[in-house]
Structures are given as structure tokens and as C-alpha cells.
Chain A
Amino acid sequence: MITENIDIKKEFDNLPDGWIVLLETSAEKSLEISLVALHHLITEKNYIGIVLSASRPYKNLVQLYQHKGIDTNRILFLDCISKSQSLEIEQTGNVLYLDSVSDLTNISLALKGSMEKIQGDKFVYIDSITTMLIHNTPEMFARFIHGILTKMRIQGISGLLISLEDETDKEIRAEVAQLCDRIVKLA
């Protein structure tokens, strides 16, 4: 069951086409809130998701999503964890295993390729900025995000970026936040 007491719907109201939202949450609530947001976008709004995961491996995400009633057939996973952690790699049609969270060039190419390949209303989900910043320099990461968001804006693709409140470098948080259409704080 999806938690009922988080009213995520209103946070996505009245956004422009091709919206980009920064969702700031606490470490304790991040998983729960992410699942609610994904459920809303995929199940209720009928988006197709491109999930860039720097926090959890594909196998774990699929279990979590399915448990919450999210249709994983409507998601392409870009898993940055399994290979670098030498985890079991399950080859299916909706996952790309990337070498590591610090390989921003390949992540960028994979994201761009996925955006071009997938038809229909889609959004890119980045989980999370905070984790990616552990593995990358702030400058490189800010440039990566700027490049990805520019591509998304050109193609009219929406985006949801997850950040842990008070745990993300203040300057990088500001660099990213100013590129977004809305900042949602759910701690």
C-alpha cells in the first residue's frame, strides 16, 4: 500500500510541460516519499519512467516498486550500483547496468540514449543528487546535471531529482535548484 498521508498530487499540480522538480526530503523519509512520487507519476499520470539509481541496485528497486504496486514494465532502470558492487546481474529488457556512479560520461550517454529511444510522455528520475555527489566532484556533477537538464528541456522531457535535505552541499544544491521549475520539500 502506498502511504496515504503524503499528498504528492498537489506538489505536481500546475507545472509547465517538461517540468523539472527538485524533491528535497530527509534520509529517513526518502524511500517512502520516492515511492509515493513514482506511484503518482507512473500509475496515476501514466508517465514512463527512466530511473537513474545511484542508491539501490535494480533487483532491490524492482522488489520495492512491485510491492508498492508500481508497474515496473513502464520503467527503464539505469543501475549504477550492481556492477561496481559486484552484485548479481539479472539481464532483462528494462535495465542497463552502468559501471559506476562516478562514470558521468557513460551515465550521460545512457540517459540521452534512453530519452531518445523511449516514446511517449516520460520523465527522468535521479536518485539521488546527494549520493551522486559522494562519488563525484561538485563541479563535474553540476556540469553533468546542467547538460542532462538542457537535453531534457530541448526534448520536453520531465524530471524529478531527489536530494536529501541538509546533506547536499549548499552551493551545488543552489546550482541545481535554480535550474528547476519547482522545489518541493517533504521532510
Chain B
Amino acid sequence: MDLELSNIPFIEILRQYNNRAVIMIERSTEGYFEHNMETIRLLLENDFEGIYISFQRPFINVYTMFEQKNIDTSKLLFIDAAAALSGEIQVDDDRCIHISEDIEIDELVRAIYTSIPRFQSKKNFIFIDSLTTIALYKPLSETMRFSEFLVGLVRKEEKNQISLIFNVAKDLSQKKFIQDVAFRVDEVVSI
């Protein structure tokens, strides 16, 4: 699919998969974060609750930008992987789940897994802001293992409906490991 996200029934795609879809969104590098924010807004406005895993920007910046754009952050949990990867101090906030600087994939997975019961809504999402950014710090095998776990989680979760959204810059979508992940998703949406 190669469409503007606002013009496609994105929520309808999730619904087609009983809100257990695994989606890869290929985005232009221009306005990448702006578009990420609009996707989050769309999900929240459709009664989803979710986890925003931020590899690109620290929590404080993402949170501030969301507030400025009037995006309701009360339905969001954050994992500040950007600050952890860069060895920066993570902000103390109820909505921000801390992870250690080593950012082991198992720890990340545990943080996601233990967050799910905190959601009130049955419709949930896991939003990965950039798959390629984690690969700057972690071996591809670990990045692949991370995505494999998340795909498995969505497929097997029974109590909650969880959709998984991987984001990737268009110019990086031809990387071999991104192609491998794309092979496992339900839909690739290009915007």
C-alpha cells in the first residue's frame, strides 16, 4: 500500500485483523516524527491504549511534543530507550518505564510484557518509533530477536487485543533485516 495515512482506513486495517495486526509503516524522513505523532493521535482517538517505545528521542522531548499537539498522554506508556542507549538519565515519571543503559533485549521485552496489564482498554498497541535506530546499538541478531518476540506476543496474546506497529524510514526499508521483518508482518503501509 502506498498512501497517505490520513486517507487510508488505518484503523480499519487493524480491525480486519481483530486489532491484532502487525504493521510496518514506511515513512519519509521528512516530518518523520510529526507523522509518528499523527499515528498515535489516530490510535488514541479510536480508544486504543499503548506503549510508545522511543529509540529516536528521549521521553521528555516526546512527551513535551505530544502535550503541545494536544495528544492525550494519559493512555500512553513510554519506554525511553533513546536516553538509555545514550547513557543519559531517564526522567522520573509514572508513565515512563525505566530500563538500564545496557538495554538488553530481554529487559526490554520484560518491560513491555509487564506493562500490558496496566491498560484499561482491551484495544492496545505497541509502537516502535524506529527499528533501524536500535540496530545502531545492538547486533542485528538481537534486533531481529526483539521483533520476533513482539510479533509472537501479538499473535499469542488472548486477553488483550494488541496491534504492533513498526516504523521505518523509507530510505532504509531495503536493508536486509528490515526486509526480513517486513516478511513477518501482516501489512506494509508506505506513506
Contact = CB atoms under 8 A, between A and B. Distances in A.
A11 interface: no
B30 A154 contact: no
B60 A171 contact: no
B85 interface: yes
A171 B30 CA distance: 14
Which bracket fits the contact residues of B? 20 to 34
A151 B27 CA distance: 25
Contact of B132 (A16, A18, A153, A175): A175
Contacts of B33: 178, 181
Interface stretch (A49-57, A67-75, A122-130, A142-150): A142-150
Interface of B is mostly: helix
Interface residues of A, number: 22
B30 A18 contact: no
A118 interface: no
A178 B175 CA distance: 16
B60 to A, nearest CB: 6
Which of A17, A139, A151, A153 counts the most chain B CB atoms within 10 A?
A153
Interface in B68-119: 68, 82-83, 85-89
A6 interface: no
A174 B29 CA distance: 6
Interface of B: 27, 29-30, 32-33, 56-58, 60-61, 64-65, 68, 82-83, 85-89, 130, 132-133, 136-137, 169-172, 175
